[in-house]
Amino acid sequence: MSATPIYLDYNATTPLDERVLEAMLPFFKTHFANAGSAHLFGLSVREAVESAGEQLAGLIGASPDNILHTSGATESVNLALKGIHSAERNHIVTIATEHKAVLDTCVYLEQQGYRITVISAGKDGSVNEEDLLHAVTDETLCVCTMLANNETGVIHPIPRFSDIAHARGALMLCDATQAVGKIPVNVHELGVDLMPLSAHKFYGPKGSGALFISPGIRRKFSAQMHGGGHQKGLRSGTLNVPGIIGIGKAAEIAGTDMAGDSRRIGALRDQLEQELLSIQDTSRNGHPEQRLYNTTNICFPGVNADQLILALQHISVSSGSACTAATTYPSHVLKSMGLSDQDALSSIRFSLGRFTTGPEIEQTIGRLKLLISRFRG
């Protein structure tokens, strides 16, 4: 008889909350009309879509008019970076620990004539504000920094970064994919102009995401998808109604459950981390305090992370971003923080979530201690 799966990879994706599924199901079958249709059936579906937009907007402190529905954060990042342009500004500043969706898009833009500055992170994953101050110039179009890192959980001081960008007349793009639904996020308090996010990071459906676009730049934003003029001409295409209903419901649930999730999940993360750091020669990657309560990234020197992950069998953890997990290269995030290839390849990310239990954490601790002793011995 196989063991019950233990899932500790919530930063890669989350299971769909049953309450979200229940809200979505009618829009697959009985309420299937096109939200762009002018008949009463279509108008009723459009009303549901607008209600879901209000739910999502409420979670991030925005107006529904400033939310663009997308297929997920990767599309949102691409739309944001490719949709802003200026004849006078062709410089983008970003951080070496950003998600590949940002870094690879910047590589593409560099090939189109943009100048890209990539700032290194410190040993704890944080960014030196002086480095950012020196990097941003009067030619900078955009500063692009994530709110919370997907591999280490490190949280960046986005309001201060926004002030630095705006002081030079640049825009602030903040990838909040790992933060929305876990911690309070308010676009006005952050001071951001553009903010991508994904539903499947907070118990919503895959294939549903959004891009917040501030009112000040919406009229300057260039669409990347044409045909039909949907979403005020900014992203044409028939709306993914069940996905939008799902992200709205997931946002509503996150708003009510966030405080309780934070306390319970944070206590379990601390228990796991404390026990793992008690293993000889282990160390934590990332800032000890300025990070998400559900995430810990631990280095086990002398142990190959991929081999350890396979040996864990029914316990699901990660050696880096899910988008690059098929490669055998060391994490670019950990490398940018100064880790050697060997230590980066010996590091594992544990990300807990809403359905993680105490017995699962205890079982994981016991299994890891046994395996690490065996691998090192």
CA atoms of 121 and 97, how far apart (whole Å): 7
Helix (H) or strand (E) run with residue 347 in it:
strand 347-351
How many beta carbons lie within 10 A of that of residue 301, not counting itself?
14
What's the CA angle centered on 17, arms 26 and 102, to 5 degrees? 105
323 is catalytic: yes
Cα–Cα distances (Å) from 202 to 117, 174, 281, in that order, read 31, 17, 34
> CB-hemisphere CA count at 13 Å for 99?
27
Catalytic residue among 106, 142, 174, 323: 323
- Are residues 300 and 279 in contact, defined by beta-carbon separation less than 8 angstroms? yes
Q: Tell me the CB-side half-sphere exposure of residue 23, using CA atoms within 13 A.
A: 25
**Cα torsion through 348, 349, 350, 353, rounded to 10:** -160
Map residue 316 onto helix, strand or coil: strand
Torsion of CA 125, 97, 318, 252, to 10 degrees: 90
DSSP conformation class of 86: -
DSSP for 93-140, written as a single string: EEETTS-HHHHHHHHHHHHTT-EEEEEPP-TTS---HHHHHHH--TTE
Residue written as tokens 């949102």?
76
Tokens representing residue 238 in the block? 């028939």
Where do the H-state alpha helices sit in the chain?
18-24, 40-60, 73-83, 100-111, 129-135, 158-167, 187-190, 215-218, 241-277, 305-312, 332-336, 341-344, 358-376
Active-site residues, by number, are 323
